[in-house]
């Protein structure tokens, strides 16, 4: 376990705390490294990649200042480690492949100080979407299953806002989508995390097509092989939605028109599978400002 404390010069140093994962260019610690706040995650990342991610997260914060669909950037700062507080155990956990650094350099304090920055990001839960689909969805009744797809609208809304601001996530698989809230009581939001390889000055339906494909792949395990279940018809409708999204990506008519088309198809999917009440709820809560009556 690894925690951090503040030094007199306002830098932060490693003295123990909560390592929870490794990405291509960094490691994630929870709670955060400054105050051990359970509402904050700290991401220790290579400087160049960290600065790039910070710039993208700043743009997204202007789009989504409350963090309604993404993990909000709270602050960032240079990493500095006091030699006396060095914990060699970190080497056993924090070894991102993208660092590509000889093991000897990783044992030297100076490498960490000069190559890494820390991003403090809002904690949006620990329940990954793929785990929820595999383990929880098959146990839900039909109404709660429909409500899940209503809340999944938040991701489609978020991808619309990212794309219209020329940002693509580039890694929108179901392990980078989290359920935030009280899962047991079905009171939760669904949000996007990890913008480490996101790109600016791009757009289109790439993320959305990937998103639907990922959902479809995960959905196949609990529902795809049950020929007489409600889930099978939903699974077939999801395949159609994914196909329509891919076709629209190829024959693009412009970001706004493309997304309105896909959103309308998604609302139609909810209507066909779960009824117009939930389709209207999804429209009202997530899409009413995008699709306006003509």
218 has pLDDT over 80: yes
201: which residues sit within 8 A by CB, 6+ positions away?
166
Residues 111 and 182 placed together within one structural domain of the fold: no
CATH number of the domain where residue 9 is located: 3.30.200
**DSSP assigned state of 137:** G
**DSSP assigned state of 66:** T
pLDDT tens column, 72-119: 999 998 877 654 344 445 555 677 777 777 766 666 667 776 788 899
pLDDT tens column, 136-156: 888 888 889 999 999 999 999
Residues 108 and 138 placed together within one structural domain of the fold: no
Residues 258 and 206 placed together within one structural domain of the fold: yes
pTM: 0.86
Distance CA(255)–CA(252), nearest Å, equals 8
CATH number of the domain where residue 175 is located: 1.10.510
Q: Is residue 250 part of a domain?
A: yes
Domain end (from 68, 87, 122): 122
Q: Is residue 62 part of a domain?
A: yes
Backbone angles phi, psi at 78, to 5 degrees: -70, 145
pLDDT tens column, 258-279: 999 999 999 999 999 899 999 9
Distance CA(159)–CA(204), nearest Å, equals 9
Residues 40 and 184 placed together within one structural domain of the fold: no
Residues 258 and 115 placed together within one structural domain of the fold: no
**What pLDDT does residue 104 have?**
66
127 has pLDDT over 50: yes
Residues 34 and 93 placed together within one structural domain of the fold: yes
Residues 97 and 131 placed together within one structural domain of the fold: no
pLDDT-based confidence at residue 178 (cuts at 50, 70, 90): very high
**What pLDDT does residue 44 have?**
87
42: nearest Cα among 99, 90, 3, 8:
3
Q: Is residue 293 part of a domain?
A: no
Domain end (from 122, 146, 174): 122
The boundaries of the domain holding residue 135 are 127-287
Residues 162 and 213 placed together within one structural domain of the fold: yes
Taking a C-beta distance cutoff of 8 angstroms, is the pair 183, 128 a contact? no
Residues 134 and 258 placed together within one structural domain of the fold: yes
Residues 103 and 49 placed together within one structural domain of the fold: yes
């Amino acid at each position: 376990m690894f925690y951090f404390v503040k030094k007199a010069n306002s830098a932060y140093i490693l003295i123990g705390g909560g390592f929870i994962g490794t990405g291509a260019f960094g490691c994630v610690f929870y709670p955060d490294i400054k105050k051990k706040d359970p509402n904050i995650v700290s991401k220790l990342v290579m400087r160049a990649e960290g600065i790039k991610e910070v710039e993208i997260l700043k743009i997204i914060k202007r789009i989504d200042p409350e963090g309604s669909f993404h993990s909000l950037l709270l602050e960032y700062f240079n990493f500095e480690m006091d030699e006396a507080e060095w914990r060699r155990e970190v080497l056993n956990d924090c070894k991102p492949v993208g660092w590509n650094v000889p093991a000897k350099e990783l044992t030297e304090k100076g490498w960490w100080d000069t190559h890494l920055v820390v991003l403090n990001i809002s904690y949006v839960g620990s329940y990954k979407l793929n785990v929820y689909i595999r383990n929880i969805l098959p146990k839900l009744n039909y109404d709660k299953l429909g409500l899940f797809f209503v809340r999944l609208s938040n991701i489609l809304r978020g991808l619309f806002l990212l794309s219209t601001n020329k940002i693509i996530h580039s890694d929108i698989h179901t392990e980078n989508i989290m359920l935030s809230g009280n899962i047991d009581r079905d009171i939760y939001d669904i949000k996007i995390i990890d913008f480490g390889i996101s790109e600016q000055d791009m757009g289109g339906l790439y993320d959305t097509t990937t998103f639907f494909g990922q959902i479809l792949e995960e959905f196949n395990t609990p529902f795809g092989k049950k020929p007489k279940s409600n889930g099978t018809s939903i699974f077939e409708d999801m395949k159609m939605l994914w196909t329509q999204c891919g076709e629209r990506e190829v024959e693009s008519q412009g970001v706004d028109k493309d997304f309105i088309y896909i959103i309308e198809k998604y609302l139609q999917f909810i209507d066909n599978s779960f009824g117009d009440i939930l389709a209207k709820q999804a429209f009202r809560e997530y899409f009413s400002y995008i699709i306006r009556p003509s």
